[in-house]
């Protein structure tokens, strides 16, 4: 888990990178940018806000042969060994980004390369290199006194409430390709930032396994439990799955299936589905791992626990207490109306 509250920007270099396909070129600053209290505060909010709001999906640098062939890994590795080389190495980052900016959709923009200290990662203080890019420009109004009147000046600039692209590269796990967090607000060039520029792949840590196993379970519920049983059982299966993760510190697949799978006939179906779909979620060989609570909380927010009926009625089931849905909700068939029904038991209505 990351905490950026105490992070300091020690130095920053700013360049402009154009679209190579459009012959826009690169503008390289001769010196690092001189920070002051005002710009430091604004830049910290601009750079770090999306990482506080975004689900933490970690990556690491990747190369099929060796890390020496990964351009950004080598540059960052040099910076970590000697932070005083950041400015000269930031020019290499800009050149590499320019080489990858050859698709017509890729927009020119400002590139910021920073050396950061005092980040908290999993309660351990670490340093990092931050690489950020602003792309989309917005019109804004400035006002200027002109004698007895105010004139309107239309100018363009960046919206500091929305970073277009960025990554934090932590000075940890060097031998495994460092630990990397990335954000990308613009989806029109998805491969450009992660694959072409950074050349990273998802880090298969406990957070990754927790999140992806729950995603896999969600799709199993939709593809297998729902057709075999009904919507109520689909929702209840995911309730039990999430609660199993929430109350345990470690995951063991056999225990999980015995506790969560109320219909034993679905256990072979689950194993077959894992063989077929597991590689999509990188969990085909995963049977045990330490559970990350934040990943469970994030997953719980995204999983729908609502039964939508064709009579414009919704039944919302409680994720925290799934036994209520099993004890107090019954499904049946009304012969006279030729319709299904849900019978809900309760003592009194609760106030909103």
Beta partners for 15? 28, 111
CA distance 218 to 226: 11
pLDDT at 203 over 90: no
Judged against a pLDDT cut of 90, whether residue 226 lies above it is answered with no
Whether 343 and 330 have beta carbons less than 8 Å apart is answered as yes
Give the residue-averaged pLDDT of 225-243: 86
- Using one digit for the tens of pLDDT, what is the confidence trace for 74-84? 999 999 999 99
Q: What is the pLDDT of residues 285-307, one digit of tens each?
A: 899 999 998 888 888 877 777 78
Mean pLDDT of 170-179: 92
pLDDT digits (tens, 9 = 90+) for 13-68: 999 999 988 889 899 999 999 999 999 999 999 999 999 877 778 999 987 777 77
- State the Cα–Cα distance between residues 238 and 253, nearest whole angstrom: 15
Calculate the CA dihedral of residues 32, 33, 36, 37 and round it to 10 degrees: -100
pLDDT in tens, 242-295: 989 999 999 999 999 999 998 888 999 999 999 999 999 889 989 999 999 888
**Cα 233 from Cα 221, distance rounded (Å):** 8
Q: Which tens digits make up the pLDDT trace of 101-148? A: 888 888 899 999 999 999 999 889 999 999 999 998 888 888 888 889
> In DSSP terms, which residues pair with 149 in a beta bridge?
146
Nearest-angstrom CA–CA distance, 136 and 81: 34
């Amino acid at each position: 888990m990351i905490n950026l509250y105490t992070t300091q920007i020690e130095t920053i270099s700013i360049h402009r990178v154009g679209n190579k396909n459009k012959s826009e070129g690169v503008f390289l600053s001769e010196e690092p940018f001189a920070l002051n209290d005002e710009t430091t505060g604004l830049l910290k909010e601009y750079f770090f806000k999306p990482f506080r709001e975004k689900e933490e999906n970690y990556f690491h640098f990747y190369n099929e042969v060796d890390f020496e062939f990964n351009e950004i890994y080598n540059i960052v590795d040099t910076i970590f060994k000697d932070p005083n080389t950041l400015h000269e190495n930031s020019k290499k980052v800009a050149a590499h980004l320019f080489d990858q900016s050859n698709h017509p959709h890729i927009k020119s923009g400002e590139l910021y390369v920073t050396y950061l200290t005092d980040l908290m990662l999993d309660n351990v203080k670490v340093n990092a290199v931050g690489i950020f890019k602003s792309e989309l420009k917005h019109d804004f109004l400035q006002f200027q006194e002109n004698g007895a009147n105010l004139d309107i000046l239309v100018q363009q600039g960046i919206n500091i409430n929305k970073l277009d692209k960025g990554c934090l590269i932590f000075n940890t796990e060097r031998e495994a390709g460092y630990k990397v967090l990335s954000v990308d607000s613009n989806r029109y060039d998805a491969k450009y930032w992660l694959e072409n520029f950074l050349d990273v792949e998802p880090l298969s840590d406990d957070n990754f396994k927790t999140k992806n196993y729950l995603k896999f379970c969600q799709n199993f519920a939709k593809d297998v439990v729902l057709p075999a049983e009904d919507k109520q059982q689909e929702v209840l299966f995911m309730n039990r799955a999430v609660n199993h993760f929430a109350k345990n510190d470690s995951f063991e697949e056999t225990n999980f299936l015995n506790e969560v799978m109320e219909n034993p006939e679905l256990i072979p179906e689950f194993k077959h589905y894992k063989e077929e779909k597991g590689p999509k979620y990188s969990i085909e060989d995963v049977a045990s791992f330490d559970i990350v609570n934040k990943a469970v909380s994030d997953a719980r927010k995204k999983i729908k626990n609502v039964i939508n009926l064709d009579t414009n009625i919704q039944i919302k089931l409680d994720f925290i207490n799934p036994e209520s849905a099993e004890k107090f909700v019954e499904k049946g068939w009304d012969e006279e109306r030729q319709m299904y029904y849900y019978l809900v038991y309760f003592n009194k209505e609760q106030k909103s």
